[in-house]
Structure 1
Amino acid sequence: MKFSYQWLKDLGHFAFSPNQVAELLTLHLAESRVVKSGKFAVLEVDLLPNRVADAGCHLGLTRELLAYEGKKFVYPRIKVKESSEAIDKYLALNHQSNLCNYYSARLIQGVQVKKSPSWLQQRLKDCGLRPINNVVDASNYIMLLTGQPLHVFDYDKLSPILSDSPKREIIIRLAHPHEAITTLDGEILELSTSDLVIADHKQPLALAGIKGGQAAEITQQTQNIVLESANFDGVTVRKTSRLHQLITEASWRFEHNLSPQLAPYSLELLAQLIREVSGGEILAGVLESKKRSSKKNQKNIIPISWSRWSNFLGWSLSQSRIKQILTNLGFSFIERKNYLLITPPEFRNDIICAQDVMGEVARLIGVNNIPLNAPLLTSVLPKENEFWVFKEQFKDWLAAYQLEEVYNYSLISKEVVESVGLNNSSRVIKLANPLSNLFYYLRPSLIFNFLENVQHNLSFRNEVRLFELGKIYQQGTDFSEDEVVGGVLSQRQAVSEDLFLEAKGILEDLLKKFGFSRSDYSFASLNDAWYSSLLKSGAILMINSKPVGVVGISNSTLNNFFDLKNDVVFWEIKLAPWFTEIKAEKYYKPLPKYPAVSRDISFIISSDVLIDNILNAMQSASPELLVDVDLFDVYRDEQMGNKQSLSFHLVFQSPHKTLTKSEVDQELDKIITKLKHLGAIIR
C-alpha cells in the first residue's frame, strides 16, 4: 500500500525523513520502503491483514508515527457550513437489509464539476490513483485519508418517489431476481439475489461497497450530488466481489471490517472538502440509519494486572510508561489498585485479549529492545505418546521385512463397493455429499486401496510388498473409526499358499517381537461374514481369545474388478486391541533349571487343516511340558492330491526335574493321538 510522505508530514508535523519513516515502520509495524524519492516521496508499506482497518490510511499511519515519537494524535477539526434548507425535503432513506450496519448521506446543491486542484491530483497520483474530476477525486482523497470508502451519486438522475414530487429515495436492499447493473466502466453484471445494492425506485445505482453504476454517474453536467458513507458487512462484500470478479479499492477495505465510527466522520470531511473544491451549498442535516446493533460497537474491556506485564514482556516496565504508551495508541483505561481496565479504541477491531494489548506496548517500544533473559517459566516436557511410539516401531519392523509403506485416500469408489455387493451392507458408510463416484464411500477396509496399488505396481515389477498404517470406517450400532495396519504380498507366478504362509509368518514374528508368547495368540477359521465377502480363504488372528485382525487371499470378484491375474495375500490388524494387550500387566517365569529334550515328528494330513489348528492340538495334548513347536518342512506333490507332508520340531521341558525318555514318549503319544483325530497319518 502506497502512502505520500509529504501528506503524512503535513498531518503529523514530525521531523522524520522518508528513510527514517520507513525504518520506524519496519521496526514497529510492517515491512516498509521508500519507492519514490524527492519532493513527492512515496512509501510502500506491507500491512498485515489485521492492521488494514486502522493503519491502512494516512490518518492511521500518522497516528502510529506520532506514538513512536511519544505524542498523541489529534484528529483534524471539521467545520461544515450548512444552508438553511433541510435535506429531508429532497431525500429519504429506505434501509431494508441487515447486511448494512450503518448508512449516512448528505446532499450538496449547485456544485461545479471540473478538474481537481493540482495538489489534490498529486496526492492521488502519489498513492496510485488516477484523477477523474473534483467530486470523485475528493471522495477518493478522503478514503486515502481516513480509510473509509465513499461514493457520490448524481441526485438529479435518481428516480423521484412520486412523479409530481422532487423528493428522491435511497434504498439499501438485496438485488431482485434477474436484475442487472451497468458499472461505471460499462460492464453489465447479472446480479445474484445475495448481492447487496444501493438503488432508487427503478434500478440499482451501485453494488454496495464495491462499485458504482452508470445510472447515477457524476459527469460534467452534474449539479446536485448525494454523498454516501456507510459500513457494509465485510463477508457480503467479499462474496459479491469474488462472485463478479470485481475487486476494487473500496471492496478490499470493507473486507477488512472497518470501524462503523469512520463513516460519519468521513462523511463530514468529504462534504467540507467538496464545498472547498467544487462550491455548492450543503443542505442542513444528515440522513442516518442503523439497521442492527453491531458487535463492533460493543466495548471490549480487558483487565490486566501489573504483575502480568513483566511476565509477558520479559522485563520490567514502569506503570507510567505503560499508561503513556496506551494513551498515545488511543487506548482508554481505568486504573485500579493492582490492575488496569483497558478499553481498545474503536478503530482497533483486532484487539480482543490481554496478550494483544501487551503486544502493542512491546511493539511500540520495539521487540528488538527486549533484553535477553532466561525464561521465567520452567519448561515441562510433554508426556511421551506411547501409542505413537508403538506405531513407529510397527512401521520400522514392517520395513525390515522389505515392505514398502504407502499412503492412500480414506475414500473409495462406488463401483468397487458394488462389485462385491457391499453397497447395501449396514457396515459401509456412504458420504452425504460425495464429490464424485470415485470418492463415494469411506473405506471399510484397506484391501480396496491395496488392490489398486497392486494393479498399478505389477505393471512395472514382478513382486509387490506393501504396508499401510491408516484408518478404516464402519457402521454398526454406532460409527467406528479404527486405526489399523495392513499389508499385501503379490508376485507373478507365485504360489498363493506360499505367500499366505509368509504373511502369517510376518505376523507371528511381529507378535514375538512385541512380547507375545505362542500361547497368547492363535489363528482361527475365517468365519467372519464381512471378511468372507472379501477373501476366498484366510484366518482370523486372535490375541487372548479376542479377534484383532485377519490374513487371507483376495477373492476372484475383487481380483477381476482390478484386473489382477495373480492372487493377492492381504492382512489387516486393529492396532488399539494389540496395543492394549501389550500394555497389560505381564508375568515372568524364572529361567529353566533343567535341560530340554527335542523330538521330531512327520505326518501326512489334509491341506484343508490349518497349521494353527495343528499347533493348538499339539499344545492341548501336552500343555505343561511342550514348550516350543517349530514347523521346519512342508512337502506337497500332485500325486498326494489334497494332502501335504509336514514336519515339526518339538521341545519338551519340565520346570521341576530332568525328563526321562519314557516321560517324553508318553507326551509324544498324547500328541500323536490328537493328530490322528485331525486325520493325520504318522510317518
Structure 2
Amino acid sequence: MLLSYNWLSEFVELPVPPQELGEVLTWLGLEIESTEVYKPSLENVVIGEVAACARIEGTDHLSITTVNVGDAQLSIVCGAPNVRVGLKVAVMLAGAKTAGGMVIKKAKLRGHESNGMLASEEELGLAPSHAGIIELPLSWEVGTPAARYLDFQDTVYDVEITPNRPDFLSHIGVARDIAAKFKLPWQRKHYSVVESARPASDFIKVSLEAPEACPRYLARVISGVKIAPSPFEVAIRLLRCGIRPICNIVDVTNYVMLETGQPLHAFDARFLTGRKIRVRYGSPDERFTTLDGKEHKLTASDLLIADSRHGVALAGVMGGQNSEIRDDTTDVVLECAYFDPVHVRRTAKSLGMSTDSSRRFERGCDPNQVPYAANAAISLMQKWGGGEVLNGAVDAYPKPIIPVTIDFRPKRASELIGVEYDDREISEILTRLGCEVLASSVPWQVKAPTHRPDLEREVDLIEEVVRVDGYDIIPSSVTGKVVLVGQDDPGHILRRQVEDILVGQGFLQAMSLSMWNPEPRLDPPGMPPGVLVGNPVTDEMKFLQGSVLPPLFRAAAANFERGDRDIRLFETTRTFHSGEPDDPRTWETRVAAGLMTGRRYPVGWQPSRDSIDYFDLKSVLEILATRLSLDNYHINCYALDTSGLLAGELLAGGQKIGNFGIWPKSVCAPLDIDADVAWFELDLEILQNHIRPDLQFRPLPKFPIAWRDLAVVVNSDISFADLSATIRQSAGSLLSGLWPFDVFVSDKLGPGKKSVAVRLEFLHPERSLDASEVDSFIQNIITSLQQKHSAVLR
C-alpha cells in the first residue's frame, strides 16, 4: 500500500514532518518498505505545445518535433510513443536537470538538432513514469514556467499491511489511527451531490440471489457524463500511489478506493441488459472475459455480477470487458458493495487472480461505509465529468451487519500490559479508535466498529490500548528468579545428525511444500496421497503429503531435464496419514527420505561410468545405521518383478524403520527420468527408539590382529546377511570384523550354488592370540555354517 503524506493531511493535521511520520507508522503496526520523496525538478522547465511532429527516417521510434514555448519555436528530437501535434508538454530547456541528475544539453541526433527534451513524469520527479512523456491540460498557458503548475511536493510511504488490518488499506484508516495516537481530531471529507428528481430505482434494479456471499449491494446512477482525462493533480496522485490513470470515471473508483478502502466499479449502463443487476453464482462451464482480456471458465462457487442475460463482473475481483467504460459512455451505474471475504478469496484463487479490489475484500471491508463511499464517488464523477445524478440509491441490504459487542474488564488491561491505567484513559483510547464504550458497569460493553473486523475478544482491545499508547511504556523487569536452561529436542538432534550424515555422502538437501496433489504423469507408482484437505487453496494443494518421495522425484526430474543426470537428493520433514474410512484420526510422522540416480562417482579427473545400483543404496543405509549406532539392525531386500523393480526394508530389533527400493528405467522413463532411481524413506520416530544410548569408546588396539579368509559354497538363495548373522553368533566376542570380498557362481559348483568368501578379523584387548585359538574359532564357524546353511568348505 502506498500512502501519501499530503493525502493523509487532508483528514488530520499531521503533528510531525514527513521524515518522522514513518517512525510513527511503524509504532502503529505498519512496516515501512521504502519512502519516496517527490520534489519536482522544475528549473528551466516551461510549458510547451507540439506544433509539428514527423518520424525520423531509419528509426522505429524517434520523431523530430517543433515545440512552441511562447517566445520561440524549438526543434526537439523525441522518442516517446505518445508525442503528437497539439499536445501540451513540459519542455526541459538546455541547462535543466532531470530528477536523476542528468543535465540537458543541446545535441544533434540522427542529423537533427535537439534543443531540449520533452519530459516524462519520472524525469520531472513528479511520479513514476507510466508511458511516454507527460500530457498536460490543454488550458495551461504556453511559455509559462512549469513550477507554476507542477510544484506538487509530497512524500509517499510504501507500507506492508498485515492481513488483520484491512482498514489500513486506505488513507482514512491510517489517518484515524494517527489521530488516535496523538489525541487529535480527524474527519472524513464531505462530498455534496446535486440530485435530480428522477429516482435511481426507476433506472436500475438489484437482486441479491446469493446474500450469504454478498450481504450488501448498493447501486447509484449518473446520466449524461462526459468521458475525459481526470484533473492533472488527481492523475499525479494516482500515479504516486501505484494506479495508472485511465479516464475521469474509472479514476474516481480508484481514487475513492485509495481514500476509503472501499472498492467500487463503474458499468456502462448501455450494456446492462434489462437494466438489472443480479448477484449470483456462476454456472458450471460458464465463460467470462474480464477487463484484462482474459477468458475464465467459471464454477458454481464463483460469485458473479450479472444482468438479466450474462455476467458483467467477477464480484469483488474484476469487471467485465463487455460492460467497461468507453470513450462514448454517457450513462454510468456505480457499484458499491460488501462481498464476503471467503467467497472473494475462493473466486480469486480458483481463477489465479489478485487485484487491488480482491485484496481489500479478502481482508474484510466495512459494510456500513458503503453509502459514504458511493456518495463520494458519485460526487466526484459529477464534479469531473458533469451529468445528472439520479435521486437516491438502490441499496439491497436485507440483514444489516451490526458491530460486535465485547465484554471488557479495564483491570484486566492493566494486568496484562503491566502498566496501571485509569478507566478514563482506556475509554478515551478505545473511543478515538471508533469503538462505542458503555462503561456503566463491569464488564464494560464495547462495540467494535465494523471497519475493524479483527477486534473480536477482550485481549484484542487490550492490545489496541497499548498499541496506541506506545509499546515503549511497558516497563522492563525480571518477573521471577527461576533460570530456565534450554534443552534441545532429541528429535531435532536426530534430524540434524541424519542430515549431516547424508550431506557427507554427497546428498543435497531439498525443501518442498507439505501440500500436493497426486499426478500419475509426474509421480512414481504406489505413492500414498496423504490426508485430503477440506478447503484447499488450489487444486495443486489438495492433500497433506503422505510421502516425501513424490516432490523429491519431481525435483530430480526437473534437474534431469536440465542436463544434471547425477542426482542425490534428500529431505527431512513430516508426512501425514489417516485411518480407515470409519476412523477419523489423523497423525503425522517425522521422516527422512532420499533418492539417487546417475553415476556412482561423477566427480574426478577419471569419473566412474558405473551407474548407481542396489549396493550403493544399501551402503547409504548401512553408513547411516552405523553412524547413528542403530542397535541390532537388519536389511532385507526382495525383487517385486522381473523388470528390475526392487524393494526392501530396514529393520531394527525386528521393527520396520523404513522402506527402500529401486525404480528401474522402464518405470522412470515415462516420468522424465531416463535412468534407474534408488530411493529410501525412514521413520525417524521409530528409528530414534533403536539407537543405543550407552555407547562406549575403546582405545586403539595394543596387540596384533589375527586375519583369516574363509570361502564356503551355499545355496544361491541364502543372503549374506544370514551368513553374517551365523558367523557372528558362533565366532564369539573376539570377532572384531567381518567383510565379504568375493562371490563366485559357476556350473562347477553345482546347480543353484554360489561361493561366498569372507575375511575375518579377531582381536583380544589384553594379549596376543595364538594360531590354535583362532583355528578353534574358525572351526566353530564352519560347523555352524554346515548345520544351519548346509555350507561346504571350499
Q: TM-score, normalised by structure 1?
A: 0.65
Deviation digits for residues 202-244 of structure 1 (CA, Å, limit 9, x no counterpart):
676666554487869698995x876543324456667878999
* Distance in structure 2 (CA, Å) of the matches to 1:365 and 1:321: 10
User: Which range moved further: 245-254 or 39-48?
Assistant: 245-254
**1:44 to partner: Cα distance:** 1.9
Change in 2 beyond 3 A, CA 1:490/1:572: farther
The 5 A counterparts of 1:299-378 are 299=404, 301=406, 303=408, 306-309=411-414, 311-312=416-417, 316-335=420-439, 341-353=445-457, 356-367=460-471, 369-370=472-473, 373-374=476-477, 376=479
User: 2:177 maps to which residue?
Assistant: 64
User: 1:673 maps to which residue?
Assistant: 783
Do the aligned partners of 1:22 and 1:43 also contact (CA within 8 Å) in 2? no
User: Which range moved further: 348-357 or 543-552?
Assistant: 543-552
Deviation digits for residues 519-559 of structure 1 (CA, Å, limit 9, x no counterpart):
x45677x5x565998578x9976543455578999989789
Change in 2 beyond 3 A, CA 1:160/1:389: closer
* Distance in structure 1 (CA, Å) of the matches to 2:497 and 2:771: 44
Letter in 1 for 2:488: E
* Distance in structure 1 (CA, Å) of the matches to 2:479 and 2:739: 65
User: 1:42 maps to which residue?
Assistant: 154
User: Which range moved further: 633-642 or 384-393?
Assistant: 633-642
Do the aligned partners of 2:225 and 2:387 also contact (CA within 8 Å) in 1? no
User: 1:483 maps to which residue?
Assistant: 591
The 5 A counterparts of 1:460-479 are 468=570
Do the aligned partners of 1:411 and 1:443 also contact (CA within 8 Å) in 2? no
* Distance in structure 1 (CA, Å) of the matches to 2:489 and 2:735: 35
Letter in 1 for 2:305: V
* Distance in structure 2 (CA, Å) of the matches to 1:182 and 1:495: 53
User: 1:579 maps to which residue?
Assistant: 688
* Distance in structure 1 (CA, Å) of the matches to 2:447 and 2:571: 51
SS of the aligned residue for 2:404 comes to: coil
Counting matched residue pairs gives: 628
Do the aligned partners of 1:598 and 1:651 also contact (CA within 8 Å) in 2? yes
Q: Which residue among 755, 758, 767 is the counterpart of 1:643?
A: 755
Do the aligned partners of 1:330 and 1:345 also contact (CA within 8 Å) in 2? yes
* Distance in structure 2 (CA, Å) of the matches to 1:14 and 1:586: 69
* Distance in structure 2 (CA, Å) of the matches to 1:444 and 1:145: 48
Deviation digits for residues 598-648 of structure 1 (CA, Å, limit 9, x no counterpart):
8968565448455544454455557xx655364478567899865355554
* Distance in structure 2 (CA, Å) of the matches to 1:634 and 1:132: 84
Work out whether 1:196 is the aligned partner of 2:196. Answer: no
User: 2:217 maps to which residue?
Assistant: 103
Change in 2 beyond 3 A, CA 1:626/1:5: closer
Do the aligned partners of 1:78 and 1:269 also contact (CA within 8 Å) in 2? yes
Do the aligned partners of 1:103 and 1:289 also contact (CA within 8 Å) in 2? yes
The 5 A counterparts of 1:498-577 are 500=615, 514=628, 520=632, 528=638, 530=640, 543-546=652-655, 575-577=684-686
Letter in 2 for 1:46: D
Change in 2 beyond 3 A, CA 1:629/1:644: same
* Distance in structure 2 (CA, Å) of the matches to 1:613 and 1:65: 78
User: 2:43 maps to which residue?
Assistant: none
Work out whether 1:266 is the aligned partner of 2:370. Answer: no
* Distance in structure 2 (CA, Å) of the matches to 1:5 and 1:496: 64
User: Which range moved further: 553-562 or 336-345?
Assistant: 553-562
Do the aligned partners of 1:602 and 1:646 also contact (CA within 8 Å) in 2? yes
Do the aligned partners of 1:121 and 1:137 also contact (CA within 8 Å) in 2? no
**1:101 to partner: Cα distance:** 2.4
* Distance in structure 2 (CA, Å) of the matches to 1:323 and 1:94: 42
Change in 2 beyond 3 A, CA 1:613/1:303: same
Q: Which has the larger radius of gyration?
A: 1
Structure number with higher helix proportion: 1
Do the aligned partners of 1:47 and 1:56 also contact (CA within 8 Å) in 2? no
Deviation digits for residues 228-267 of structure 1 (CA, Å, limit 9, x no counterpart):
4332445666787899999876666545532111112334
Q: Which residue among 198, 203, 206 is the counterpart of 1:93?
A: 206
User: 1:591 maps to which residue?
Assistant: none
Do the aligned partners of 1:603 and 1:680 also contact (CA within 8 Å) in 2? no
Do the aligned partners of 1:19 and 1:34 also contact (CA within 8 Å) in 2? no
Letter in 1 for 2:304: L
* Distance in structure 1 (CA, Å) of the matches to 2:238 and 2:432: 27
Q: TM-score, normalised by structure 2?
A: 0.57
Structure 2 unaligned residues grouped into runs of 5+: 41-149, 581-585, 602-607, 697-702
SS of the aligned residue for 1:196 comes to: strand
* Distance in structure 2 (CA, Å) of the matches to 1:616 and 1:114: 94
User: 2:74 maps to which residue?
Assistant: none
SS of the aligned residue for 2:689 comes to: helix
* Distance in structure 1 (CA, Å) of the matches to 2:415 and 2:446: 17
Letter in 1 for 2:217: Y
Deviation digits for residues 561-602 of structure 1 (CA, Å, limit 9, x no counterpart):
9877xx99998866544432226x8799xxxxxx99989685
Deviation digits for residues 335-355 of structure 1 (CA, Å, limit 9, x no counterpart):
487765543222123434555
* Distance in structure 2 (CA, Å) of the matches to 1:36 and 1:545: 77
Change in 2 beyond 3 A, CA 1:413/1:252: closer
Deviation digits for residues 386-422 of structure 1 (CA, Å, limit 9, x no counterpart):
233234334545666x55456598999969999xxxx
Letter in 2 for 1:12: V
* Distance in structure 2 (CA, Å) of the matches to 1:467 and 1:249: 40
SS of the aligned residue for 1:93 comes to: strand
* Distance in structure 1 (CA, Å) of the matches to 2:485 and 2:736: 45
Work out whether 1:146 is the aligned partner of 2:284. Answer: no
Deviation digits for residues 255-309 of structure 1 (CA, Å, limit 9, x no counterpart):
55321111123344556677888586863x5432125666xx4515264553444
Letter in 1 for 2:489: N
SS of the aligned residue for 2:364 comes to: coil
Deviation digits for residues 24-57 of structure 1 (CA, Å, limit 9, x no counterpart):
4465464355425897543423343448743444
Letter in 2 for 1:101: P
Letter in 2 for 1:301: I
Letter in 1 for 2:784: K
Letter in 2 for 1:289: A
Change in 2 beyond 3 A, CA 1:280/1:522: closer
